[in-house]
Structure 1
Amino acid sequence: MNEEKNTIMLVDGMALLFRGFFATAFRGNFMKTSKGLPTNGVYQFMRYFLDAAEKFSPSHVICCWDMGSKTFRTELYKEYKANRSEPPEELIPQFELIKNVVDAFDIPNIGLENYEADDCIGTLARQNSSDNDVLILTGDQDILQLVDDGIRVAIMRKGIGNYEIFEKETFAGRKGLQPEQIVDLKGLMGDSSDNYPGVKGIGEKTALKLIQEHGSIDQILENLDKLPNGVQTKIRDDRDMLELSRQLAEIKCDLSVSCSLDNAVWQYDKKIVESKFQELELNNLVKLVN
Structure 2
Amino acid sequence: MTTTNRIMLVDGMALLFRAFYATAMSNYFMINSKGMPTNGVYGMMKHLFTAIDTYQPTHVVCCWDMGSKTFRNDLFPDYKANRGAPPEELIPQFDLAKEVVESLNIPNVGQAGYEADDCIGTLSRTYSEHSQVFILTGDQDMLQLLQPNVNVVLLKKGHGNYAEYGESTFVEEKGITPEQMVDLKALMGDSSDNYPGVKGIGEKTALKLLLKYENIEGILENLDQLTKGQRSKIEQDLDMLHLSRKLARIHCEADLDCSLDDALFYIDDEKMGAKFDELEFRNWKKNIVGM
Bin of the TM-score, shorter chain as denominator length: over 0.9
Q: Matches of 1:56 and 1:18 in 2, distance apart?
A: 22
Q: State the Cα distance separating 1:286 from its structure 2 match.
A: 2.7
SS at match of 2:178: coil
Is residue 153 from structure 1 mapped to residue 152 from structure 2 by the alignment? yes
The residue aligned with 1:114 is 113
Q: State the Cα distance separating 1:283 from its structure 2 match.
A: 2.9
Q: Matches of 1:137 and 1:152 in 2, distance apart?
A: 9
Q: State the Cα distance separating 1:27 from its structure 2 match.
A: 0.6
Q: Is the 8 A contact 1:147 1:167 kept in 2?
A: yes
SS at match of 1:135: strand
Q: State the Cα distance separating 1:124 from its structure 2 match.
A: 0.1
Q: Matches of 1:57 and 1:35 in 2, distance apart?
A: 35
Q: Is the 8 A contact 1:17 1:41 kept in 2?
A: yes
Q: Matches of 1:102 and 1:19 in 2, distance apart?
A: 16
SS at match of 1:180: helix
Q: State the Cα distance separating 1:88 from its structure 2 match.
A: 0.2
Map 1:86-165 to 2 at 5 A.
Answer: 86-165=85-164
Moved over 6 A (4+): none
SS at match of 1:267: coil
Q: 1:164-202: CA deviations, max 9, x gaps?
A: 001012221101100010000000000001000000000
The residue aligned with 1:76 is 75
Q: 1:24-80: CA deviations, max 9, x gaps?
A: 111101001111100000000000000000000000000000001100001111111
The residue aligned with 1:215 is 214
The residue aligned with 1:192 is 191
Matched AA of 1:89: E
Q: Matches of 1:171 and 1:280 in 2, distance apart?
A: 40
Q: Is the 8 A contact 1:200 1:234 kept in 2?
A: yes
| Number of corresponding residues | 289
Q: Is the 8 A contact 1:42 1:98 kept in 2?
A: yes
Q: TM-score, normalised by structure 2?
A: 0.98
Give the percent of matched residue pairs that are identical in Structure 1 and Structure 2: 58
Gaps of 5+ in 2: none
SS at match of 2:283: helix
Matched AA of 1:64: C
The residue aligned with 1:173 is 172
The residue aligned with 1:22 is 21
Q: Matches of 2:49 and 2:263 in 1, distance apart?
A: 16
Q: TM-score, normalised by structure 1?
A: 0.98
